[in-house]
């Protein structure tokens, strides 16, 4: 059975072993994430190069997503290792304390301006919300707190302000340098952490293009205030990632499920790709099978229409990277069997702006009502397949293109399969035969199957798709009516 939902896997120390890298490619990973929060530029470039080399060896197209660290606000290090805090303890976050001088009563902070962003009554959440601190008062460079939820606290844990409102810019100086590295590696997608407005995405895109990058922009939705202008952020982006860790900490865990469903629906309505991320199968960092709750989590995201589901530490640092992908693959396939995962009323009552968009929507309506076996888009930019992928369907969409950048881009689109294909003839009937022959070679169709092919009159022109052809495999393919 063809899996439509795409799987992202984060590369890291656990995947540096060539044998492990081969196993995750064999397991079916579609896109890899390179996390710029850890490691050096040289390590990132090496991982991207090795991944693409091994993917080529397997005859696979695997995309690369470069994930910027963003203004991650963290505590500094403790002098004598982790501490244990109890409810009611007084504890201070001290912007003036040197890194490595933390003790039982205080610790330094990496973001010195935090003292200007908080006031009495605020709640600071540390280590993904595992510890909660109530701000008693702010004095000079010190934020004096009372522990509301205690526990073990160790070096370099992240800090969130409940409800949002931190003033840190989305792009740090480190991020701006990392954008150059992402461009150098030819990243297919660049993920921007903690954006609060569309301008954050526009700036990242500008810097990425100036550095020579051509990939799409991913807005990671993880700040509470981003939800106040979410449509503008989505419009500025090519992809949104529902980054549930920091977002859940800021808005509260109970508010997260309906927000996730809304963001998936909104992203698809606005013709943007959606990634659902964070702790999807976290137990598989240590265990060989997921929990039942994790199975439900992945399945529900698929049923809601997410384009992709993502693994983080499960593959970057876990004991069983390939098994995590295999388990996620199995869950996605089973969820996709459900009727609600392959139905859609997307844009039934709206007008189309472009001819190629109208062809894409017409194709999906026709294919879903004619028991078509495969859909082929002869595409330059991949836009036709993006529009097609917004419609719920169990039919594979093949992006036939001669552009490697386009093949890498569509690895993230739900239900879309990249195929390397160069147009060598101006004869439309011959071109149709070549397309069908490629599908037969892949074992995707056989005699008697129906195939829908979309293309443009002028090969090599982006946005030029203006025709849809229905052919039956095994029949004599007649010339298009314009010949």
**Is 244 annotated in the active site?**
no
- Give me the catalytic one of 23, 33, 205, 268: 33
Q: What are the b/e assignments for 93-120, b being 16+ CB within 10 Å? A: bbbebeeeebeeebbbbbbeebbebbee
- Give me the catalytic one of 278, 315, 406, 465: 278
- Give me the catalytic one of 6, 52, 205, 220: 220
- In whole angstroms, what is the distance from residue 30 CA to residue 441 CA? 22
**Does residue 119 contact residue 106 with C-beta atoms inside 8 Å?**
no
Ramachandran assignment for 80, one of left (phi > 0), alpha (psi -120 to 50 degrees), beta (any other): alpha
**Is 441 annotated in the active site?**
no
**Does residue 51 contact residue 20 with C-beta atoms inside 8 Å?**
no
Q: How many alpha carbons fall within 13 Å on the CB side of residue 454? A: 31
Residue 264 structure tokens: 């998936």
What number of other Cβ atoms are within 10 A of residue 353's Cβ? Answer: 8
**Is 33 annotated in the active site?**
yes
- Give me the catalytic one of 50, 54, 74, 209: 74
Question: What does the angle CA 349 – CA 354 – CA 360 come to, to the nearest 5 degrees?
Answer: 70
Residue 436 structure tokens: 């069908």
**Is 220 annotated in the active site?**
yes
**Positions marked catalytic:** 33, 74, 220, 278
């Amino acid at each position: 059975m063809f899996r439509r939902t795409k799987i992202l896997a984060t590369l890291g120390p656990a995947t540096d072993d060539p044998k492990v890298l081969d196993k995750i490619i064999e397991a079916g990973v579609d896109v890899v994430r390179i996390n710029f929060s850890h490691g050096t530029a040289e390590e990132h470039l090496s991982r991207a190069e090795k991944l693409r080399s091994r993917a080529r060896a397997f005859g696979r197209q695997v995309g690369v997503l470069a994930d910027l660290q963003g203004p991650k606000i963290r505590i500094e290090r403790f002098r004598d290792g982790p501490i244990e805090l109890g409810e009611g303890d007084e504890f201070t976050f001290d912007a003036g304390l040197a890194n490595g001088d933390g003790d039982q009563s205080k610790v330094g902070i990496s973001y010195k301006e935090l003292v200007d962003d908080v006031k009495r009554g605020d709640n600071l959440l540390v280590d993904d919300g595992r510890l909660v601190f109530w701000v008693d008062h702010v004095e000079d460079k010190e934020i004096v707190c009372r522990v509301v939820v205690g526990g073990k606290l160790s070096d370099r844990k992240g800090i969130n302000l409940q409800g949002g409102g931190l003033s840190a810019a989305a792009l740090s100086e480190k991020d701006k340098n990392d954008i150059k590295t992402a461009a150098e590696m030819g990243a297919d997608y660049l993920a921007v952490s903690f954006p609060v407005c569309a301008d954050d995405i526009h700036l990242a895109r500008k810097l990425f293009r100036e550095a020579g990058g051509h990939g799409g922009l991913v807005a990671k939705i993880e700040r509470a205030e981003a939800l106040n202008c979410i449509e503008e952020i989505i419009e500025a982006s090519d992809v949104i990632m529902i980054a549930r860790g920091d977002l859940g900490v800021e808005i509260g865990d109970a508010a997260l499920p309906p927000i996730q469903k809304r963001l998936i629906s909104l992203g698809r309505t606005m013709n943007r790709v959606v990634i659902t991320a964070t702790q999807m199968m976290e137990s598989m960092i240590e265990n060989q099978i997921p929990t039942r709750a994790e199975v439900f989590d992945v399945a529900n995201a698929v049923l809601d229409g997410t384009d992709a589901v993502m693994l983080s530490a499960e593959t970057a640092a876990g004991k069983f990277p390939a098994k995590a992908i295999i388990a996620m693959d199995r869950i996605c396939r089973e969820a996709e069997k459900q009727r609600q995962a392959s139905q859609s009323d997307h844009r039934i009552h709206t007008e189309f702006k472009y001819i190629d968009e109208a062809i894409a929507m017409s194709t999906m309506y026709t294919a879903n009502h004619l028991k078509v076996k495969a859909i082929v888009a002869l595409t330059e930019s991949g836009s036709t397949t993006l529009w097609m992928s917004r419609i719920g369907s169990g039919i594979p969409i093949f992006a036939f293109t001669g552009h490697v950048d386009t093949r890498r881009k569509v690895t993230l689109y739900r239900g879309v399969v990249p195929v390397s294909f160069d147009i060598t003839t101006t004869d439309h009937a011959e071109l149709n035969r070549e397309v069908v022959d490629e599908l037969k070679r892949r074992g995707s169709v056989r005699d008697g199957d129906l195939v829908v092919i979309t293309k443009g009159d002028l090969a090599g022109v982006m946005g030029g798709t203006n025709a849809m052809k229905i052919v039956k495999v095994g029949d004599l393919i007649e010339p298009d009516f314009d010949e």
